[in-house]
Amino acid sequence: MTASTRLAPEDLHAELLQRFQALDPTECTLTDESHRHRGHPGARGGARHFHVRIVSKQFEGMSALARHRKVLGCVQSLMPHPVHALAIQALTPTEGNT
């Protein structure tokens, strides 16, 4: 078990937000939705479920799949534990203002 798998929920939240800074976001909202997944097999052992809404110029000209891959690249080493699932809403600044 690595140090990252032993992070307290609030520390994991902070770690994710820090990693997303690599995308130079103009907005980044991270919500822990783990409570909605109690009993889910992926939540065993304390693995968490998150939703991120991230707005960045880096997403301009990218497909939705490419955007998701870019976001997942920031947290890949934390999956599947301590992060089991990450729902992603990745928008450009123009899209984020609607």
Per-residue tens of pLDDT for the chain, all 98 residues: 344 446 787 899 999 999 999 999 999 999 998 866 566 665 566 678 899 999 999 999 999 999 999 999 999 999 988 998 899 999 999 998 76
pLDDT of residue 84: 85
Of 9, 6, 47, 46, nearest to 30 by C-alpha is 9
H or E segment and range at residue 51: strand 48-55
pLDDT of residue 62: 97
pLDDT of residue 61: 97
CB 68 within 8 A of CB 88: yes
Q: How far is CA 10 from CA 6, 33, 97, in A?
A: 12, 13, 28
Task: Give this prediction's pTM.
Answer: 0.84
Which CATH fold would you assign to the domain 3-96? GMP Synthetase; Chain A, domain 3 (3.30.300)
Ranges of each domain in the chain: 3-96
